[in-house]
Every structure is written in C-alpha cells, then in structure tokens.
C-alpha cells in the first residue's frame, strides 16, 4: 500500500487500463489531475482549442483502432457541458470514451459556486454512467468501474466528475495488485446459431446486413468468412461500411434513404430474408418498417438486449457480441458445408452482382461542368486515393454524396458519426484518428458549414504536427437543409455566401462565396489549396501530400462547387428520387464500373 493523492490514483488506474493518450483543456478545477499527469509523464496529452473538439478527438481516437479508449479532460462547468455533444455522439454509435471533469470543492456544491454545475445529472442521458465522486477513497474504484462499463455489453461513454478537494486528498492505494475487471459480453449459443442457419436455409434470397457492431467487435474478417462459406451477399450499414470490401463479389451495396446505392436498395427489395448483425435498423437505413419488412423475414443479432425489437419485431432475435456470434456462424457453417447441408446461393449472389454491374443502377459521375458538381469530385477522389485511404466525415450533402460515390475497402476506414451527426465533428475526429495511427492515409471530407463549425481545431494539427488531407466541398450553402426546404417551397436562412470585402480580387469571394477558407486555414498554421476544375484536383492532392511530408500539418483542399446540386434521396427505399442524370454508358461512371472490373 502507498499513500498518494486521489488524483494520482486515477492516473495510475488509467495507465493499468491501457491509456497512453488524452485530449483536453486544462483549467483551475482540474489542475490537480493535470499535476499528476505531468508528474507521471506516461500519458501523452493533446491540447484542444475547444472542449467539444477534444471530446471528438477522443472519439476519433477510439474509432480508429480496436481496443482504444479515448480520454477527454476538462475543467468544471462549461467544460463539462461542452463535452455533452461528444458524449451524445459516442453513446449513439456505441463508442467508449472517458470524459473527466473538475468540480468545485464539496463544501461549495449546490451553492452556485463559480463554474459549478451538476454535470453528472446533465450527462446521465447520454452516457452509460455519469458520477460525481464525493469520497477520495472511491476515486480508483470509480475509474475501475468506468473502464469495466465502457468495455462491457454495448460499448459506450462514461463521465467522471471530480471535486477539487477530492482530487487533492491523500488516500491509501496499492496499484501493484490492481487488475482490470473482467469484461462482460453476451455470446450466442451453438443452438441459437444452428436455429439461425436453419432459417437461412429455408430462404431463397437471403442477405446479411452488417452493422457497426461488427467493427466494434473487430470481427470483419469473420463476417467475410461466413459470407463466403454460406454464399450470402452482404449489405453494410453506413456504420458497418468497410466490414466487407466494396469490390468483394458478395458486397451488395448499401441500402437506405440517403447513404445508399441504387443496387443496394434494389438488392434489399429483392430479398426474402435478412440477417442483421450488430446493427440497429436506423431509420435512414430502413425508411418505414412497412416497406422495409414487407415480404421478408428477419433475424436480429445485437449485443444489447433492448435493441432486439426496438424498431420492429424480428422473426428471431439473439443477444450476442457480433464477434462471438460470427465465430460460431463460421464454425457451424463449415460443418454444414462439409456435410452438404448448406444451400447453393450462387444464382442469387450472381443476381445481386448483376444489379451492381448493370449501368441502370449506377449514378453518373463524369460531369465536366464548372463550377464542379460534387459527383465529379468524388470520382476524382476515388481515382486519386486508392484502396488504403481512410475517410472521416460527419453529416450533410457532402457526407451523403460521399457515401453514395466513394469506396471503402477496410474496416475502420470509414469513420463517421452516425446517429448524432454533429456539425464540426470532422476536423477534431480526424485529428484523433491521426494521433491513433500516424501512418494511415487519412482524408477528411466536409461541406463548408461543417468545416467552419470547429475550424479552430486545425491549429491543434499545426501545433502537434498531425498531418492529413481535408477535402472541403464548398457550395456556400447549408446544402442538406436547403434541399429539405424544397418540401416547404422555400430557401430561407441557409445561404452562407456574402461579398467578402477583404478579398475583393479573389475570383471566389468576389462571386459571393463568403469566407476565404484559404486565408483562415493559413492563419491557423496549416496549408490550403483552392481548386475549381476537375483537372486541378489530382495535382492539388500531390501538392498536399508534399506539404504534409515537408511541414507535418493538415492540408485543406477546397473545391468550389456549383451552388445548388440536389443529391439522390427519398422517403422510402423503394422511392429514392434521382435529381441528376443517370449513367447512359461506361464513360459516365468510370470508377463505379471499375469497382467490379
């Protein structure tokens, strides 16, 4: 046993739980913890420019690699409330992050002390656990419980609030004998998997819907193995994109109202049976259950019991970690294959591939107009970045079009906040991914409004030498909201453009595009390039790569788009509206056709 400050016990427990990196913003009420972090020197720290930004960095860090848990630290009051969006985003997508806040001394609680707020009560709806630790001796056990909860069952975030005097108090604690608590994850039984395979065998046109739970379980290889053994096509959700490579013969496209391909929706509608693994039947994937479920049966496998039947009642439900279920699926399917018990799905799989290769199911990308259409931008990105690229994005027409036209080939190479979709998420999340993996080919994708929300975090990338490419598609509009306002016959308060008096000679700002992103980015210590035509994109990417190597800072490529482009979407998966031209030949969709060449 050793005597130490409670704050030191917290640091030691984090070390034992595998934490090597934190993000945050120090302040008076949390300085006792920072003092111990400095004394130990074992946990690196990246200083955010905004505490919400630091929370999204922690998210990006967690999402980038299996086993990571991002840590975000802030002072009391507004630091905690700034973290709420990050906690919400993490909880919505089952991402474990640990947020730590300072708090007023216990004697000052409930007395309207400066920057004192009941942050635990505020955070409870968006965390697995939120607590203010009132006894110094409970600090190490609170942190032990936090890591246990974050990793067990459905992963998710935790907030620990530490009063100043609690952190400063001395306690007895023996870190040498500390052990993390055993993680609990429910696992399917063999009998359940056999029943599921029996139901699949009875179906004529089955599909697998692969959700983000497969990525959380680090089970993408198992998914591909099972799909190949059983011969069943796979539709990844947006959060499960990359679980099976886009160019795999059994990848059947994404389904949904927005982030989908025409062949993905068509394949789902042609199916008669769906096995959902690690997914939550999000409404932008399903549309209404009446359309999505009509004419087909469902099995739903999820780690969280209350997810089964939340959106609609499946024909069979299994509570299980996706990895544990898929391990059994692979084992039992191999046994059945050897015994000749698995049905031949080659004709059905070929039918799904046929939809993927048929030009009528592919959208045109090869536009030559200036200002550019976004479809051509994504075509250029596909050509330039290759199969190893990792994309980071959040919400808006930029992300929706990106999901329709870009390609992803590996798990954790499409990093996207799914349910919450907070604007501003992309820059800090990309920085968190870069901290987690310094070598990954990393490209962020934003519209101009998402980019402006937390643009100050680019200074973090400059200060801490965190290079990546950030593609900003600029139409000077709240594009997604403008498009939805069509239903109200208005275009109201969604224009971002204005004549920038400080850039009168610039051909973009003079045209009323407003913010001069190149100057702002350079002022934050990064590099930026503005492009107008498709032939400028590839050279800009080469220049960006050279600058990253030379200066080790983020490089922004701003692409000027036409002001109004409506991206395909609809109210049901059988009623997606195509606003732009459809492809009429191979030249119209060179990258889409190359997907299966």
Burial of 228 (0-12, 13-18, 19+ CB in 10 A): middle
Tell me the C-alpha distance between 189 and 301, whole Å. Answer: 12
Could you say which of 11, 12, 19, 25 is catalytic?
A: 25
- Closest by alpha carbon to 236, among 257, 253, 217? 253
* N residues, the chain: 597
Residue of 223, 478, 508, 560 marked active site: 478
**Under DSSP, is residue 491 helix (H, G, I), strand (E, B) or coil?**
coil
Task: Based on the residue annotation, tell me whether 478 is a catalytic residue of this protein.
Answer: yes
CA atoms of 538 and 533, how far apart (whole Å): 10
How many helices (H) and strands (E) in the chain?
Answer: 24, 21
Q: Which residues contact 184 (CB under 8 A, 6 or more apart)?
A: 152, 153
Copy the structure tokens of residue 595: 């997907």
Task: Give the residue among 481, 574, 457, 532 at the shortest CA–CA distance from 53.
Answer: 457
Tell me if 471 sits within 8 A of 391, measured CB to CB.
no
Catalytic-role residue among 481, 520, 582, 593 = 481
Nearest Cα neighbor of 558 from 385, 434, 377 is 377
Calpha distance 16→241 (Å, rounded) = 32
Residue of 12, 423, 561, 595 marked catalytic:
423
Active-site residue (options: 12, 19, 46, 51): 51
Contact 78, 25 (CB under 8 A): no
481 an active-site residue? yes
Strand 234-236 relative to strand 206-210, pairing = parallel
DSSP for 44-82? EEEE-SSHHHHHHHHHHHHHHSTT--EEEEE-STHHHHH
Q: Which residues are marked as active site?
A: 25, 51, 423, 478, 481
């Amino acid at each position: 046993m050793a005597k130490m400050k409670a704050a030191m016990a917290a640091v030691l427990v984090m070390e034992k739980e595998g934490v090597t990196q934190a993000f945050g913003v120090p302040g008076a009420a949390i300085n006792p913890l920072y003092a111990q972090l400095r004394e130990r020197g074992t946990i690196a720290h990246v200083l955010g420019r905004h505490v919400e930004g630091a929370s999204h960095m922690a998210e990006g860090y967690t999402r980038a690699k299996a086993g990571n848990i991002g840590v975000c630290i802030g002072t009391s009051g507004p630091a905690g409330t700034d973290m709420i969006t990050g906690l919400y985003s993490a909880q919505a997508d089952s991402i474990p992050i640990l947020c730590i806040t300072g708090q007023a001394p216990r004697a000052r609680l409930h007395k309207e002390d400066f920057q004192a707020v009941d942050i635990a009560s505020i955070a409870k709806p968006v965390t697995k656990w939120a607590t203010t630790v009132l006894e110094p001796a409970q600090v190490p056990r609170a942190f032990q419980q936090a890591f246990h909860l974050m990793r067990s069952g459905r992963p998710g975030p935790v907030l620990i609030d530490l009063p100043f005097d609690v952190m400063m108090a001395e306690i007895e604690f023996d870190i040498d004998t500390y052990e993390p608590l055993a993680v609990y994850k429910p696992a399917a039984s063999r009998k359940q998997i056999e029943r599921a395979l029996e139901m699949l065998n009875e179906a004529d046109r089955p599909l697998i819907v692969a959700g983000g739970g497969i990525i959380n379980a680090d089970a993408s290889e198992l998914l591909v193995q099972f799909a190949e053994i059983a011969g069943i096509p796979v539709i990844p959700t947006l959060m499960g994109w990359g679980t099976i490579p886009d160019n795999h013969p059994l990848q059947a496209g994404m389904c949904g109202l927005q982030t989908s391909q025409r062949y993905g929706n068509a394949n789902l509608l042609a199916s008669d049976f769906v096995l959902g693994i690690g997914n939550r039947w999000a409404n932008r994937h399903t549309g209404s259950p009446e359309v999505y479920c009509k004419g087909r049966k469902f099995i739903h496998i999820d780690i969280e019991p209350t997810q089964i039947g939340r959106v609609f009642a499946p024909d069979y439900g299994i509570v299980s970690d996706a990895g544990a279920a898929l391990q059994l699926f692979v084992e039992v399917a191999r046994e059945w294959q050897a015994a000749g018990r698995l049905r031949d799905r080659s004709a059905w799989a070929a039918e799904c591939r046929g939809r993927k290769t048929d030009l009528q199911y592919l959208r045109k990308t090869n536009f030559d107009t200036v200002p550019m259409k976004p479809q051509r931008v994504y075509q250029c990105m596909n050509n330039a970045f290759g199969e190893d690229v990792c994309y980071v994005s959040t919400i808006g027409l930029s992300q929706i079009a990106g999901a329709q036209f870009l390609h992803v080939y590996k798990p954790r190479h499409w990093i996207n906040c799914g349910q919450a979709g907070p604007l501003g998420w992309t820059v800090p999340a990309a920085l968190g991914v870069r901290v987690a993996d310094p070598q990954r080919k990393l490209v962020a994708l934003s519209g101009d409004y998402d980019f402006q929300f937390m643009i100050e975090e680019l200074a973090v990338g400059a200060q801490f030498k965190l290079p990546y490419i950030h593609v900003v598609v600029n139409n000077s509009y709240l594009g997604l909201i403008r498009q939805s306002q069509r239903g109200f016959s208005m275009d109201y308060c969604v224009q971002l453009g204005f004549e920038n008096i400080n850039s009168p000679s610039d051909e973009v700002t003079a045209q009323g595009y407003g913010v001069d992103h190149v100057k702002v980015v350079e002022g934050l210590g990064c590099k930026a390039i503005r492009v107008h035509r498709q032939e400028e994109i590839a050279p800009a990417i080469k220049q960006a790569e050279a600058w990253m190597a030379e200066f080790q800072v983020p490089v922004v490529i701003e692409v000027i788009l036409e002001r109004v482009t409506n991206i395909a979407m609809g109210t049901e998966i059988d009623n997606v509206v195509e606003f732009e031209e459809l492809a009429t030949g191979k030249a119209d969709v060179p990258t889409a056709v190359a997907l299966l060449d």
